[in-house]
Amino acid sequence: MATPLRISPVRTELRGNGAVSDHARCWRHNEESGFLDPVWPSDPPDNSAVLEVARAYLPSNYDADIDKMSISHGAFHRLYHIPERDSSRSYLMRLAIPVEPFYKTESEVATMTYLREQTSIPIPAVVAWSSNAANSVLGFEWILMETVDGVTLESVWDRMEFEDKKTLTKAIASHMSQFLNLRFTLLGNIYFADKWNEVSYPLYSSSRSSQPALSPREPDVDIGKNGKFVIGRMVSTEFFRDKRALLCTDRGPYETAKELAVTKVKLLGQRIRHLSHMPGTDYYCEVDEELYQRKTEVLQVFDKLEQVPAQIFSDSDGPEDLKVLWHADLSMLNILVDPTTFEVRGIVDWESVSIVPAWDVSDGIPRFLWGAEVEEPPPLGSLSEEDEARKVDIRNDWDLCRLRKAYTEIVGPIPDTTSVAENTLRHKIKLSSLLAIFEDLWTRTKYWLEDMDAEKEFVFVG
């Protein structure tokens, strides 16, 4: 299997006032949500500029049709579709908003390559990439990859019969079973080994000797300084969203779930102590303004929250802390299928796919199967047309319940918590969810901490 070609070996760092200012232009206040949304800091290149760069790495006989090039968008990307004239072949050039320079692109390419080598998951092959916007003719980091001949699952889901959906769900489960059975000794992201010293990969980790006890599968296959890949610093929206990319914190990799939890809490503390509450300033958003107005109370809540990891995490990992690679956005938009047979053709969007504790993977259920729990379906044939229309969502959720069962029968429980105290697992999951929503819903953390104090439910495990 061919290794993708890295075009720019030197990384770009967020240093100096100019770099910070450039990063701030990647975020814009959304007046509806009150948060910051990622935006392009300057105009992205046009089709001709993209094609000029891509041609250097496309097959020599590839006849690109610039007139049929199209553009689509993701949250952090702009995607240029490059079809071949008089052919069904095409390539994709994916440009990135520089919210996490170097690391996000490097990790995405390495993760895709690693999984193509270690599993049979249908992942597009990367041809070439540049993780240094400063050295790129296009002015942005980019990845050139083969495209998948298929359509998004979202575009066909509503016309699929239930049995087709079940067959597809089982196929996805088989792929994800390979994915989730990979074992690792560090929490973080996958990178190519030649960048080990730039992504903070430790030459020695005390956790490596203990990980096999949690699983019979050999951990860290082809990972290490003498392997093809390494595990390095974490790439996640929790770490690079808005000004987080600029804050000083240990970004991993981490040996234990406790280390990761402590870091997340400390990063949140820095974030709420460096609010952009003045309109017109870099990173301003309404959420920051509201936090600033109640800053004293917010910090009091945070000070209590900061004590929680030591109370619910052990210094060493338990079975619920098994380190697994997780695709947190396996949505219908990121699953590509045959429009007629509904066969899975590809799984895409591997940015920010990290190695995380097993308890933090939404029970191992992919996003396309999320829905409300329904104990039984509404009865058929006994409702008026108007009442039946109201039951559509319930019937859809009932079908999703059945599909989740089919999925779980193949993948199994993630993690195996038979020997884990219920309170321990519940508190870890709750802490993670509260950290994700603290900025706009910090009062939920306040009430949770009050409940914990009243009930004396904390389990001291250190």
Whole-number Å distance between alpha carbons of 323 and 317: 9
Domain residue limits, the chain: 5-148, 257-315+421-462
Q: Which amino acid is at 359?
A: W
Give the chain's mean pLDDT: 90
Whole-number Å distance between alpha carbons of 235 and 245: 10
**Chain segment 379-401, per-residue pLDDT in tens:** 766 666 677 767 788 889 999 99
268, 438 Cβ separation under 8 angstroms = yes
Beta bridge partners of 189: 232
Give the DSSP per-residue string, 3-27.
PPEES--SPP---HHHHHHHHHTTE
12 band by pLDDT with thresholds 50, 70 and 90 = low
Residue position matching structure tokens 């690391």: 103
More confident residue, 272 or 379: 272
pTM (predicted TM-score): 0.92
Q: Does domain 5-148 have CATH number 3.30.200.20?
A: yes
Residue position matching structure tokens 């992201």: 189
Give the DSSP per-residue string, 62-124.
--B-GGG-EEEE-SSEEEEEEEBTTSS-EEEEEEE-SSSTTHHHHHHHHHHHHHHHH-----P
Nearest alpha-carbon partner for 80 in 71, 91, 88, 89: 71
Task: State the CB neighbour count (10 A cutoff) for residue 396.
Answer: 15
**Which pLDDT score is estimated for 8?**
74
Whole-number Å distance between alpha carbons of 435 and 281: 25
Tokens of 289: 């303004």
Rg (CA), the chain: 23
Peptide bond before residue 415 is cis, with ω within 30 degrees of 0: yes
**Chain segment 90-149, per-residue pLDDT in tens:** 999 999 999 999 999 999 999 999 999 999 999 999 999 999 988 788 999 999 999 999
Question: For the ranges 12-21, 107-116, 119-128, 212-221, which has the lowest average pLDDT?
Answer: 12-21
Share of the chain above pLDDT 70, in %: 89
Average pLDDT for residues 420-445, to the nearest whole number?
Answer: 91
Average pLDDT for residues 235-249, to the nearest whole number?
Answer: 93
Share of the chain above pLDDT 90, in %: 75
Give the CA dihedral 172, 177, 182, 183, nearest 10 degrees. Answer: 130
Using the predicted structure, report yes or no on whether residue 39 has a pLDDT greater than 90: yes
**Chain segment 311-349, per-residue pLDDT in tens:** 999 999 998 999 999 999 999 999 999 999 999 999 999
Using the predicted structure, report yes or no on whether residue 294 has a pLDDT greater than 60: yes
**Which pLDDT score is estimated for 217?**
63
Whole-number Å distance between alpha carbons of 128 and 109: 9
Average pLDDT for residues 199-212, to the nearest whole number?
Answer: 65
Task: State the CB neighbour count (10 A cutoff) for residue 60.
Answer: 5
**Which pLDDT score is estimated for 15?**
52
214 band by pLDDT with thresholds 50, 70 and 90 = very low
Find all residues with CB under 8 Å of 73, minimum gap 6, and list them.
Answer: 79
Question: How many angstroms from the chain centroid is the CA of residue 31?
Answer: 25
Using the predicted structure, report yes or no on whether residue 378 has a pLDDT greater than 90: no
Number of H helices and E strands in the chain, helices first, is 13, 15
**Which pLDDT score is estimated for 439?**
95
